[in-house]
Each structure stands twice: as structure tokens, then as C-alpha cells.
Amino acid sequence: MKILSIETSCDDTAISVAECNRNIADFKIISQVISSQIEIHKKYGGVYPTLARREHQKNLPIVLKKVLKDANLLKLKSSKINSREIEKILEKEKLLFTRTKSLLEKYQKPDIDYIAVTYGPGLEPCLWSGINFARSLSLIWKIPIIPINHIEGHLFANFVNNPEILNEKIFPAVFLIVSGGHTQLILIEKLGKYKIIGETRDDAAGEAFDKIARAIGLPYPGGPEISKAALDGKMLDISLPRPMIATRDFDFSFSGLKTAVIYNTKKQKKSVLKSKKYISSMAFESQQAIIEVLVKKTIRAAEKFNVKTIIIGGGVAANKALKDLMEKEAKRIKKNISIPEIKLCTDNASMIALNACYHILKNARIKRGEIKAQANLTLS
């Protein structure tokens, strides 16, 4: 069977086609495309939700066409469709309606068995674009929809290229989801049985990176820019707090760290603020503060709950310093560790496809009608 998966939880328009048969170990990606909006949102220093939604409306039909073409599933036709049905679904998304109608009129129904779509958590306007697009395709092509939890998708990102290891031997596990919108520690007894044991009380780690980058004059997105600047090392004597690193719980807080950086910048002369030494030193120290807290809490959780595996997911998992320190500490306490390859850390549709494959094989409830965006959806 073939799965068309759609991911629009934030500012990446991602679609993939995957094959999934009787066993999850047979899963493979046939084609995948991601359209990034980073350049569009740079001037705002973060994602502007209504603008992101408009870009999804524009990009979804374009990305779908490219994905189907790459998968050799795009075939011309000459018959018309009942556009009134999809117009009703897309009544608030005129741009998406126009482009979707044109695409569906021009091409045949592809050899697709299921559509998977992210329905939360994420930015609600962005989620709705993906959901409504999926519903339109489902209606015209008469293909059922699998709604997917974005956080569970990031968990499955670890296994896209090696699905055969996705079995009971790696569980229980502790899962650190760390991105622009989420920082949580989740205890996984087995797939489908999750318990949130810690989460951020204010800013997520990725959000803190963005705000700190803005404070020291680095562009958006902050995480990669801080990581790049930090490579030059700590050339000035700057010391920042490690918020909540010594508390017995597994919660996080990065707002105070961001404030400490801002206060430090206000004490500096303009010439210092713009110097490579200062920017590099602040990037290095702020990165260390964030990753030391993340690693310390995750390792403590792994020891307390006596898990077999430490799993990481989300955009911040692409940070090399975090990866290196987590691997070092996991080795010290003799725990297995799983971190996705860099291209699978950020939002992508391949992880949504594998997650859908799992649910299909487990006889998940299939939907054709109403799916609602849930911006604050949790994994528990």
C-alpha cells in the first residue's frame, strides 16, 4: 500500500509518498519534497502564522505535483471534478482552492491507498491548511485519512531509515522532544503508551535560541546561527545561568537564560556588541547553558526510570553540540541512544508517513470526514 503524507504544522510545506506493506520493517520512502519558508520569515525574526498559512496555500499543490511526479504517479486526464465539494471545504482558503481545483481537474487519481496528515500540535492556521488540503484530496480521490500527532511523528523520525529496529527491544525509553515550540521529556513504556514526565514552564529550547540570537544580532532561525557562531569558541569571560539544572523534577525553563543574555547585551558598548569575540562567546555560552540542562535532565530521567534507550527528536536535535554531549553521557551510563539524521530532525512528511504506517498496521481508526486542528495537542 502507498501512503501520501502531509505536514504543515509550522513553516515547512512537506509531502511524501511512502510504501508500507504487511510489516513495518518493509517501510520505504518513494519520494519526498519540503518547501521551506525560512527566507520569508527572516525579517520577522520568527514565524508569522497568517503569512505561513498563505505560503502553505500556495505551496501545497506545487509540492504535491512534484512528489507525485518523482514517484511516477502523475498521469493526465480530461474529465472534470465536482469543484463545489472542495470549494465548501476550502471556503476560507481561496488561493488553495484555486490551485487544488486546477491540479485535480488536470490529473488522474494516483495509485495511493491512504492520506496521512498532521493535525496537531502546531500553529493552528498552518495545521488547517494541511488538513483542508488532505480532506479535499480524500473527497475527490475517495481515499481515507489518517490523522497524525506531530510529536509522535518526531519520535518516528528516528526510524524512517531503519524501521526494522522499531520493536519492543528498544523500550522502555525516554524521549526528549526539543524544538522551537516544544521541550518535553516523555517516558515511553511501549509504542502508544506515553507519559509526559517533564516540560518547559515557559520558552521552549528552540524558542530560546531564536530570542537569544535576535538579542546578539544573529538572524533567524536562531539555533543553526548560534551553533555556527559558537564554533569559534568562548573568547570572552561570559557566564550564564543553567536554569533548573539542579531541581529534582524534569521540567525546564529557558526564559531566565534569555533575560540574562539581554541584560548582558545592555551593559556592552556598541563596538563590543558587534565584535566577533562577543558574538562568538555569547553564542558558545548560551548554547552550552541550554544543552547542559537538556542533557542533565534527560540522563537523570533515563537513570531514574531505568530505560533501555534515550531517544531525541525535533529541530534542536540537529545541534551537534547537543548530540555529542548526549552521546557521551548516554555511553557513560550505558544506555542506547537514537538521534535522527539532520534532515529528519526538522519537520518532514516522511516521519508522518512512517507513523501512519504503524497506525494502519495496528488497525487505527480511519477518517474520511471532519478532522479538527488541535494546536495544543499532547502526546500522553
The CA distance from 35 to 14, in Å, is: 6
For the cut 80, the answer to whether the pLDDT of residue 228 exceeds it is: yes
Check: CB of residue 41 under 8 Å from CB of residue 55: no
What are 367's three cell numbers? 477518517
Q: 79 falls in which pLDDT band (50, 70, 90)?
A: low
Could you report the per-residue pLDDT of 23-34, keeping only the tens digit for each?
899 999 999 999
For the cut 90, the answer to whether the pLDDT of residue 84 exceeds it is: no
Mean predicted confidence (pLDDT) in 124-147: 94
**What is the three-state SS of the chain?**
CEEEEEECCCCEEEEEEEECCCCHHHCEEEEEEEEECHHHHHHHCCCCHHHHHHHHHHHHHHHHHHHHHHCCCCCECCCCCCHHHHHHHCCCCHHHHHHHHHHHHHECCCCCCEEEEEEECCCHHHHHHHHHHHHHHHHHHCCCEEEEEHHHHHHHHHHCCCHHHCCHHHCCEEEEEECCCCEEEEEEEECCEEEEEEEECCCCHHHHHHHHHHHCCCCCCHHHHHHHHHCCCCCCCCCCCCCCCCCCCCCECCHHHHHHHHHHHHCCCHHHHCCHHHHHHHHHHHHHHHHHHHHHHHHHHHHHCCCCEEEEECHHHHCHHHHHHHHHHHHHCCCEEECCCHHHHCCCHHHHHHHHHHHHHCCCCCECCCCCCCCCCCCC
Could you report the per-residue pLDDT of 285-325, keeping only the tens digit for each?
999 999 999 999 999 999 999 999 999 999 999 999 999 99
For the cut 90, the answer to whether the pLDDT of residue 266 exceeds it is: yes
What's the pLDDT at 367? 67
For the cut 80, the answer to whether the pLDDT of residue 219 exceeds it is: yes
Check: CB of residue 209 under 8 Å from CB of residue 226: yes
Q: What is the pTM of this model?
A: 0.94
Cβ within 8 Å of residue 196, ≥6 positions away:
184, 185, 186, 187, 378, 379, 380
Check: CB of residue 150 under 8 Å from CB of residue 177: no
Domains defined along the chain, listed by start: 2-155+345-361 (3.30.420.40), 168-340 (3.30.420.40)
Mean predicted confidence (pLDDT) in 320-334: 97
Q: 365 falls in which pLDDT band (50, 70, 90)?
A: low
Check: CB of residue 114 under 8 Å from CB of residue 3: yes
What are 58's three cell numbers? 500556495
| Bond from prior residue into 221 cis (ω within 30 degrees of 0) | yes
Distances (CA, A) of 237 to 269, 277, 291: 16, 10, 19
